[in-house]
Amino acid sequence: MATLSVTNPTLADLAKVTDPDGSIADVVEILNQTNEILADMTWLEGNLTTGHRTTIRSGLPTPTWRKLYGGVQPTKSKAVQVTDNCGMLEDYAEVDKALVDMAGDPAKFRLQEDKPHIEGLNQQVATTLFYGDEAVNAERFTGFAPRFNSLSAANGENIINAAGSGSDNGSIWLVCWSPQTCHGIIPKGSTAGIQQRDLGEVTIENIDGANGRMQAYRSHYRWDVGMSVRDWRYIVRIANIDRSNLTADLSGSSADLNDLMHQAYSQLPTLGVGRCVWYMDRQMLGFLRRQTSNGVKNSTLSFENVGGTFQTSWGGYPIRRVDALKTNEATIT
């Protein structure tokens, strides 16, 4: 297998290496267009056919201040092995043969017709990245929320509590993607985790619910995908943001999103490590903009045109609107 020449490879970078003939390049492009998270994520090939096993440093050795003729106690670092599994997401796309035959470019037409199925895969992966829990759904991979769900856990210091207690809470995430912190994984030996198979012409039974049949072209899509968190210190969750209390002028018991994001920003051990990105839903982003314009003269919120795309940033890190984030999260305690 060829090697990657970039430090934080995206899914597109990985596809170029694992699929040199470009057979899945169009699919990856569509995935990137409909899910901005994929363009942010670092992707690595796992060391297992079902996922990735990594060693995480859980403690540092303690050196000794030695006096003359004094002894030094031998020490060693502490480490634990963690295995992150990949989930197997599949779908079939079927297009009426007569419709395809009328198209000037049948292959391109079929890919366009398959777009809703590819976007469906995307939405499932985006939701699972945040809320997937193997303890509840063993066929999926574990996302961020189940890993950052207790204020008293070891990583609880990276959960900023906005003190909301309602049933319509939300979260804002700051994630730094890199091979050393957090990254997506594909199974060992796979083609960027994505498989597209043209199953050709098939007869679909009972197409109309009245035992009617139809000739169609069928495509099969499969995406083996997972996520590995190697250093939780580079992931910060702002949790318990009560939506019903949010106001543009910070009146009442409204959460101050700028202040909360300052707290999250300050939790990162080192700035400049990996590709750091903010993730929030459209309502949170809307209130962040309104609170900023109403009350902050020297804001860290900025708007710029990056490569022809309008981008919002906070503290130098881009903000992505993620509709997969829930609007009714339970209170984290």
pLDDT, residue 2, reads 39
pLDDT, residue 34, reads 58
The single residue listed with the structure tokens 């699929």 is 19
Q: What is the dihedral of CA 247, 248, 251, 255, to 10 degrees?
A: 60
Stated pTM of the model: 0.83
- What is the pLDDT confidence band of residue 30, given thresholds at 50, 70 and 90? low
Q: pLDDT tens digits, residue range 148-174?
A: 999 999 899 999 999 988 888 999 999
Structure tokens at 189: 């030996």
Q: pLDDT tens digits, residue range 232-280?
A: 999 999 999 999 999 988 888 889 999 999 999 999 998 888 899 999 9
Which are the contacts of 17, defined by CB distance < 8 A and separation ≥ 6? 1, 2, 3, 4, 9
AA letter at 171: S
Cα–Cα distance list, 278 to 12, 303, 317, 321, 331 (Å): 21, 14, 7, 9, 21
Residue 257 and residue 291 in contact, taking contact as beta carbons nearer than 8 Å: yes
- Residue 224's nearest CA partner among 60, 96, 51 is 51
